[in-house]
Amino acid sequence: MNEIEQTRNPTGNSSNPPLEVHDLTVAYDQKPVLWDIDFELPEGSLTAIIGPNGAGKSTLVKAAMGLIPASSGYTLIYGKPLDKQRHRVAYVPQRESVDWNFPISVMDVVLMGRYPHLRLFQRPGRDDRDVALAALKEMGMEPYHKRQISQLSGGQQQRVFLARALAQDASIYLMDEPLAGVDAATEDVIFQKLKELRDGGKTVVVVHHDLQSVPDNFDRAMLLNLRMIACGPVSEIFTDENLQKTYGGRLNILSQMIEESRQQRFVRESES
Amino acid sequence: MDTLIEFFSLQDPNIRYVLAGTILLGISSGALGCFAILRRRALVGDAVAHSILPGVCLAFIIAGGKDPFMLILGAFVFGLLSMVTMDFISRNSRIAPDASIGMVLSVFFGLGVVLLTFIQTTGYIDQSGLDDFLFGQAASMVGDDVMVFGGLSLLILIVTILVFKELKLVSFDPSYARSIGYPVKRMEFLLALLMVLVITAGIQAVGVVLMASMLIIPAAAARYWTDSLRVMLLIAAGVGAVSGVTGSFISYTAPAMPTGPWMVVSAAFIFFLSFLLAPGRGEIARHIQKRRLSHKVACENILKTLYSMEEEDGRTDRLRPAKELRKRRHLASRRMKKVLSTLLRKGYVTYFRGTPDGYLLTADGRKEAKRLVRVHRLWEQYLSQHLQIAEDHVHEDAESMEHLITSEIEAQLRTSLGSPALDPHKSTIPYDSDEDEPAGGKSGDKHKQGGTP
């Protein structure tokens, strides 16, 4: 697999930001979905990735984690290449990405968060179970730890995924739509947890769909629509102009051109 | 009976060998099959099994007869080749996976049949036992074969147990696995490799045509009994082992009979039993659950009917004959009898002899009926107020929801609606606070409100 190349490896000192992504470009089937993304995030920040449907929000998180091939770009964690630091990054995939009829219990799922701390062939021990139970408790899911995962509601499934990330005991959290389709109670619990993580010095990045709830719950945001429109403190970048650029129609011409060039190239290729 | 005793007394060392071989095969294919069906790769297994035939034939040609090591090598190479081909086609073309699986299966198998016919017609090669690889012949395994095929099964089993934790994660959530740095591609390749190996191990006892079912059926049967992957693997292994024993026994008693079909039929029989009998998920359990629910609904509907009759004429002391109830709720008289006897047993109604004889709500019954009417009307109010559904459309939905609304949801409804006095049809919503009728319902006209639930 074509992982993100990690050429630059500056000498890691404490001033390195927890998460840097540079020159990230991703294309599916010749169609660019992310163009030249570049950002750095400070420690103890809570960032929302915001943008319209198809803006590449999930793609950004996946490509930054090296889960899908990128045309270019690399990720640094505390100044070091991602592959050496993966245990410090907890990724929360979209809830729909797994089969919730899979025959495992809530506890089994959360214990997977301990796998980065286990060696090959090593089974989770009592300590790991304690950590997993504590993580479930933090998400208000402790009473459900023996349940089979198909018996959970959507919001409960999401809490279990978050508990797994907590059990991983990471420094950086990348979450893909953790608030999509959850009930109001779960939303409160998750927002609360996100703030606690930030206040505990963790770096949290959340793909988010609801523009309205950003100012109240996040301190930073990335406005994304194929390219990075703006990245910084919510109070500075949530301007009408930026939002218009992100959600407005102006990018239509760009997307049209991308589609046009793709079609052209496809025709040319099939002719040759 | 004598053969049965003879077989299971294990006096004959050859029986011991064959039995050990088929049991090991059943265990490893059952366990590994769980991952195949959970990752939706069952059909791939079938294609691989069929694709092995040309490899088997080439092994015969090269070795000039049956040689277990050559066989395994040939089968393994062609199994792997078919898998790589399927992967290549679906990655580099617009052909959907199912089409590429079907194509590879038939083309490889066709090639195998061509080679098979070639061997049979030339006559240069010692072809004894070649037919066995189509449908399996466990008893034709001699000491060497069992060592090789059984050893392979054991190896697969050991590897599966060792990397169980990793296989579990990669099968459930590959993107999380990759995010924490697991070599997911390599793990997937290992799984594919194990699958090819277990199919290879089964060619002698089960045959290429049916080997895939030894991966699929025990795992599918096991899924009925458990929600734990570990237990599922154990049960599937058990089902595989039992099928192995059946196959060996048939092979021993009727040497002309191929074993593969018997192993598959016995696994399928266990699957059928699981499908019927498994607690919770089996058909019988589900049928009973459905019956219970529909009985509960019928009981609740009769309670409601009794209550609305009281609402209509405002009399709690009038006997309600079963006939009249049946007129309002279209229940067969046998079901009505059952429903009424349940209500009597629960103390919700009392029966009085009279002319005509009939039933009366007890205080408990009235309380329960009121609750039903209340949640029904609350739900109607909720639908029309919060979801802007027209008043004449809310009744049907409430009619089914009233049986499902728990006390917590009722409390939430009341908070969100502020305990309204009337439903959208302007009928009074009855709350418990005004409830003080004595049992037997002697007091008269407390219920002057009109309307029906």
| Span B203-234, pLDDT tens digits | 888 999 999 999 999 999 999 999 999 999 99
| Span B292-323, pLDDT tens digits | 999 999 999 999 899 988 888 888 888 888 88
The residues of A whose Cβ lies within 8 A of any Cβ of B are 1, 62, 65-67, 83, 86-87, 89, 91, 93, 97-99, 102-105, 108-109, 112, 115-116, 118, 120-124, 148, 150, 164, 168
What are the residue ranges spanned by the domains of chain B? 2-278, 285-362+442-446, 365-417
Given this model, what pLDDT does residue B440 score? Answer: 38
Q: Reduce the DSSP state of residue A161 to 3 states and report it.
A: helix
**Cβ neighbourhood burial of A80 (10 Å; 0-12, 13-18, 19+):** middle
Question: B412 in contact with A at a CB cutoff of 8 Å?
Answer: no
Complex ipTM value:
0.86
Question: Taking CB atoms and an 8 Å limit, are B228 and A103 in contact across chains?
Answer: yes
| Span B118-129, pLDDT tens digits | 888 887 667 777
Given this model, what pLDDT does residue B76 score? Answer: 93
CATH class assigned to B365-417: mainly alpha
Given this model, what pLDDT does residue B437 score? Answer: 41
Question: Taking CB atoms and an 8 Å limit, are B176 and A112 in contact across chains?
Answer: yes
Among the partner residues B38, B165, B178, nearest to A102 by beta-carbon distance: B38
What CA–CA distance (Å, rounded) separates B31 from B171? Answer: 14
What's at A162, amino acid-wise?
L
Residue B380, token pair as written in the block: 């109607």
Question: Taking CB atoms and an 8 Å limit, are A121 and B163 in contact across chains?
Answer: yes
Alpha helix (H) ranges present in B314-406?
322-328, 333-345, 363-386, 394-401
CATH class assigned to B2-278: mainly alpha
Question: Taking CB atoms and an 8 Å limit, are A108 and B229 in contact across chains?
Answer: yes
B115 falls in which pLDDT band (50, 70, 90)? very high
B331 falls in which pLDDT band (50, 70, 90)? confident
How distant, in Å, are the alpha carbons of B18, B146, B308, B379, B422 from that of B396?
A: 64, 66, 17, 11, 18
Given this model, what pLDDT does residue A252 score? Answer: 56
Average pLDDT of chain B, as a whole number:
86
Right CATH number for B285-362+442-446 from 1.10.10.10, 1.10.150.240, 3.30.1060.10, 2.40.40.20?
1.10.10.10
| Span B238-265, pLDDT tens digits | 999 999 998 888 878 887 788 888 899 9
Tell me: pLDDT of A267 over 90: no
Are residues B38 and B166 in contact, defined by beta-carbon separation less than 8 angstroms?
no
Measuring CA to CA, which residue among B155, B157, B216 is closest to residue B33?
B216
Given this model, what pLDDT does residue A67 score? Answer: 94
Beta-carbon contacts of residue B273 (< 8 Å; ≥ 6 apart): B221
Are residues B387 and B350 in contact, defined by beta-carbon separation less than 8 angstroms?
no
Query: Which residue carries 């639930």 as its tokens?
Result: B453
| Span A101-152, pLDDT tens digits | 999 999 999 999 999 999 888 999 999 999 999 999 999 999 999 999 999 9
A121 vs B contacts (CB less than 8 Å) = 162-163, 165
Question: Taking CB atoms and an 8 Å limit, are A112 and B173 in contact across chains?
Answer: yes
Identify the sign of the CA torsion B133, B138, B144, B146. Answer: positive
Percentage above 70 pLDDT, chain B: 95
What CA–CA distance (Å, rounded) separates A216 from A232? Answer: 15
Query: What's the pTM?
Result: 0.81
Question: B279 in contact with A at a CB cutoff of 8 Å?
Answer: no
| Span A36-61, pLDDT tens digits | 999 999 999 999 999 988 889 999 99
Count other C-beta atoms under 10 Å from residue B206's C-beta. Answer: 34
Q: Compare all CA atoms of chain A with the CA of B178 and give the residue at the minimum distance.
A: A67
Pairwise pLDDT comparison (B450 vs B339), residue with the higher score: B339
A83 vs B contacts (CB less than 8 Å) = 181
Among the partner residues B172, B179, B181, nearest to A102 by beta-carbon distance: B172
| Span B344-370, pLDDT tens digits | 999 999 888 877 788 888 989 999 999
Residue B441, token pair as written in the block: 């319902």
Question: Taking CB atoms and an 8 Å limit, are B180 and A123 in contact across chains?
Answer: no
Question: B173 in contact with A at a CB cutoff of 8 Å?
Answer: yes
Task: Establish how many alpha carbons lie within 13 A of residue B245's alpha carbon, considering only the half-sphere containing its beta carbon.
Answer: 10
